[in-house]
Chain A
Amino acid sequence: DVVLTQTPPTLSATIGQSVSISCRSSQSLLDSDGDTYLNWLLQRPGQSPQLLIYSVSNLESGVPNRFSGSGSETDFTLKISGVEAEDLGVYYCMQATHAPNTFGAGTKLELK
């Protein structure tokens, strides 16, 4: 199975600060169809996960544009440009290129 390694496990930020989360894959996530099925999800406390970004860099409808994704092959980054209070929670990367789908262990974003 593909292993996704997220760093850091915990991130402390102040409101307005820009932060980045890394997700590294044990295998290339470039699919034979040319797409790269690496998504980012946010799980706020007590809530279900929600999709933020799909296929590396595509912003899900309704997600603020302070969120952005980048990367290729095995190295991916989620950036939040100006953290807001509603952004607190656990961020997960998830790959769907190789079966079975797998998730990273998560990065908890908290207020400093």
Chain B
Amino acid sequence: QVQLKESGPGLVQPSQTLSLTCTVSGFSLMDYSVHWVRQPPGKGLEWMGRMKYDGDTYYNSALKSRLSISRDTSKSQVFLKMNSLQTEDTAIYYCTRDLLMDAWGQGASVTVSS
């Protein structure tokens, strides 16, 4: 059964760094890419970036200067780090599988506030 699960802090202070983990099961990170997508409260979906199955990464140009995605294949985990957080980064952060986005995590709610 394919599953993805996001984890991380619910509250981050402005200007600090957000660190999230996506733990997957039911498939290998060496066979499928994992994407990060976020959704501000009451708004639509924004694609952030992806870790390809071969280890290559690609980022949304609007976030590229602040964003880093990495992985640990032995632990089936993909990591997102984004620095210089502002209030507008408050959102639910999802990880999702593959180009099709055929499986999603339940989302991690992140609030940026002092």
Contact = CB atoms under 8 A, between A and B. Distances in A.
A104 to B, nearest CB: 8
B99 A37 contact: yes
Contacts of A49: 37, 45, 94, 96, 101, 104
B88 interface: no
A102 B47 contact: yes
Nearest to A60: B102
Nearest to B63: A100
A100 B60 contact: yes
Contacts of A96: 99-100
A1 B58 CA distance: 14
B61 A41 contact: no
A77 to B, nearest CB: 19
Interface residues of B, number: 23
A99 B101 contact: no
B101 A39 contact: yes
Given A51-B100, A54-B102, A94-B101, A103 B44 contact: yes
A103 B102 contact: no
Interface of B: 35, 37, 44-47, 49-50, 58-61, 94, 96, 99-107
Interface of A: 1, 37, 39, 41, 43, 48-51, 54, 60, 90, 92, 94, 96, 99-106
8 contacts: A41-B45, A49-B104, A51-B101, A51-B102, A54-B100, A92-B44, A99-B58, A100-B47
